[in-house]
Chains A and B, each alone.
Chain A
Amino acid sequence: MGDKKIRVLMAKPGLDGHDRGVKTVIHALHDAGIDVTYTGLHKTPEEIVKAASDENVSLVGLSILSGAHIPICAQIVKLMKEAGMPDKPIMVGGVIPERDIPALRKMGVEGIFPVDTPFEDIVRFVEEKGR
């Protein structure tokens, strides 16, 4: 630490309202001294990208439990590029089956954290990518 505090946008895209996971990860990030802005529930990809831009965060985290992670991530990656933030790292957590990991990596999602990922892995990713 020492230099400027890392800021992360944590977002909950789509209609699913289960937020225990995202809130747990936010607590873990807070405890690691990371600054988090949380969008709350039911956000569209457009709203999330706008929040990333408005808040000038260094990294975007998505929590998706509904199974719709592929289309949602693809849309957000595309909108981030269009909004002039092609290099801003994106991470996704939730119910992500192993078979979908290559597709997510290919579209440019750098951090993929399925259920049960140690908090340390997420924190390390944010600290490395968020600088």
Chain B
Amino acid sequence: MTEKKKLQVPPRKLESGIDIKVCYGPEDVADLDYERDLGDPGNYPFTRGIHATMYRSRPFTMRQYAGFGSPAETNQRFKYLIEHGQNALNVAFDLPTQNGLDSDDPRAEGEVGRVGMAIDTLADMEAAFEGLDLSKISVSLTINPVASIMIAMYKVVAEKQGVPNDRIMGTAQNDILKEYVGRGTWIYDVEPSLRLITDTVEYCARELPRYFPLSVCGYHIRESGADPVQEMAYAFLIAKEYARRAMERGLKPDEFLGRFSFNLDIHGNFFEQIAKFRAGRRLWAKICKEDLGATNPKSMMLRGIFGGGGGGLAIREPENNIVRMAYYSLASALSGTQTMALCCYDEAYTIPSEKAALVALRTMQILQEEVSVCDTVDPLAGSYYVESITNEMENLIVAEMKRIDELGGIVKCIADGYIQKTISRQAYEEEKSIRSGEKVKVGVNKYATKEKASLEMELHDFDSKVQDAQIASFKKIKTQRDATAASAALDKLRDKAANTDENLMPHILDCVRAYCSVGEMSGVFRDVFGEFKEPIDF
């Protein structure tokens, strides 16, 4: 091959630091071995996708995140969605529930039912799923430090319906390590929180074989300032940590790895995202096989929700966010996602309006059914550029994982605030580069109109009626339940948490059946485990 003439243009880089050549050619993928590096779709190392036919037989599902104040309202909404053909629900909880507080807790004031449904006791979970056959639907619970309690409540509702354990389907987010890095919904200290996660993984592996006990979220880490390489590196280190702890309980990798899933982010450089997911799928397969010892190919598949990320949206000229999301969703589809979700154009201002939520859904439907990007699997395979940066991204992710391991491992680097410090500094640098105009945001720092950003959108006011009704119904449950049974169950939970290393799920289930509340159970854990002390370091 003749030496290519060096083209003189200013340099450009991917966000991950990789230099982008003006033009890529066969020499950039000369070492690519199809069987080793790509493989047919559905085959190890799954670079091209985890299923042989991908969207031709399994189009990506669309799972928008949404919340409705009370369990009864949520129930109505679920019924509406199911009548319209949806069979996968995504539950949003209000902040008190996410933080393990009951609706009558003073710290919950003003927040009950605001960003999702309030759950105090099993009675609320029963109301939310009343009349819905839990053997037929899959429910995703966006909940973290109290995920063990919510999985137990969901399981008891199914049990009361007569659904056998092996028919219960669903996913809990249940990724506490990323909460310490971004999103900030943590309660207990790191080690006991990891014990609870491992309890759920073990319990699900042994009792609920069709349940996905956790979804590892690079998403929130990236939204907090990480670059795409760090997003993947930290997500994989976190997933490996959960896996390692499950194996310490005597589980074999093939008994649970196939039930791990990933929630990953899309914004920024279009091709870099696609390379990130293709590299990530290949690397995760290798990690599962070579490091963790999985033998079943199903245990090596990176199952994902690749979602259009809020980090790319702007508050100025919010309509432009619709266009941004359309590009992100295209990247997601070209990356072989299993599930897609998009932020809404008004999300920088408020909980999305119904109109904005519909536009997001339509964006995904148009992508899937109008413009024919789902007709063939992994259409970018073989692209000199995409394959070349896929290889480079994989190498960088491996290097970053190694660097964190050498610093003492992911748990230490999160517990002492190292990761948080690193990425918050990056977030600040990124903000400065947007403000200086170095990083272009159209309509924000380039071609911006003189008029001020309009902040007058459809905003949601807090409805104190929802809060009052929820508190009243919680009070009623507390008077109706068998008080002796409830306090005995809580005492037992306290004893087992404090004095044994037993799996706590059976004891949480007993508390749930006795109508103990989320606040009571997490109160036991707060006492016994202690609360996380946030490292403040800049």
Which A residues fall within an 8 A CB radius of B? 14-20, 23-24, 26-28, 30, 36, 38, 40-42, 44, 66-68, 71-72, 95-99, 114-116, 118-119
Contact = CB atoms under 8 A, between A and B. Distances in A.
Nearest to A98: B455
Interface string B92-122: 0001101101000001101100110000000
Contacts of B189: none
A42 B526 CA distance: 15
27 contacts: A14-B95, A15-B96, A15-B101, A16-B184, A17-B179, A18-B184, A20-B182, A20-B424, A20-B427, A23-B538, A24-B424, A27-B428, A30-B538, A40-B536, A44-B107, A66-B95, A68-B110, A68-B111, A68-B114, A71-B110, A72-B110, A95-B349, A97-B349, A97-B456, A97-B459, A114-B455, A116-B316
A16 B116 CA distance: 13
A46 B350 CA distance: 27
Interface of B: 95-96, 98-99, 101, 107-108, 110-111, 114-115, 179, 182-186, 223-225, 315-316, 348-351, 424-425, 427-428, 431-432, 435, 444, 453, 455-457, 459-460, 462, 534, 536, 538
A28 B184 contact: no
A95 B350 contact: yes
A26 B538 contact: yes
B180 to A, nearest CB: 10
Given A16-B184, A95-B348, A116 B428 contact: no
Contacts of B350: 67, 95
B315 A115 contact: yes
Dominant secondary structure at the A interface: loop
B315 A116 contact: yes
B3 to A, nearest CB: 46
B435 A17 contact: no
A72 to B, nearest CB: 8
Contacts of A27: 424-425, 428, 538
B538 A66 contact: no
Contacts of A15: 95-96, 98-99, 101, 107-108, 111
A115 B435 CA distance: 12
Contacts of B315: 115-116
Contact of B456 (A71, A72, A98, A114): A98
Contacts of B435: 118-119
Given A24-B427, A66-B111, A42 B223 contact: no
Given A98-B455, A118-B435, A24 B110 contact: no
A119 B435 CA distance: 9
Contacts of A68: 110-111, 114, 462
Contacts of A26: 538
Contacts of A19: 184, 224, 424
B179 A23 contact: no
B349 A24 contact: no
Contacts of A115: 315, 348
Given A42-B99, A95-B350, A97-B455, A23 B427 contact: yes
Query: What 7 pairs between A and B have smallest CB-CB spacing?
Result: A17-B184, A27-B428, A15-B95, A40-B534, A23-B424, A98-B455, A97-B455
A28 B427 CA distance: 11
Given A44-B107, A67-B350, 13 more contacts: A15-B95, A15-B96, A16-B95, A18-B183, A20-B225, A20-B427, A23-B424, A24-B424, A36-B538, A40-B534, A66-B111, A68-B462, A116-B316
A72 B223 CA distance: 26
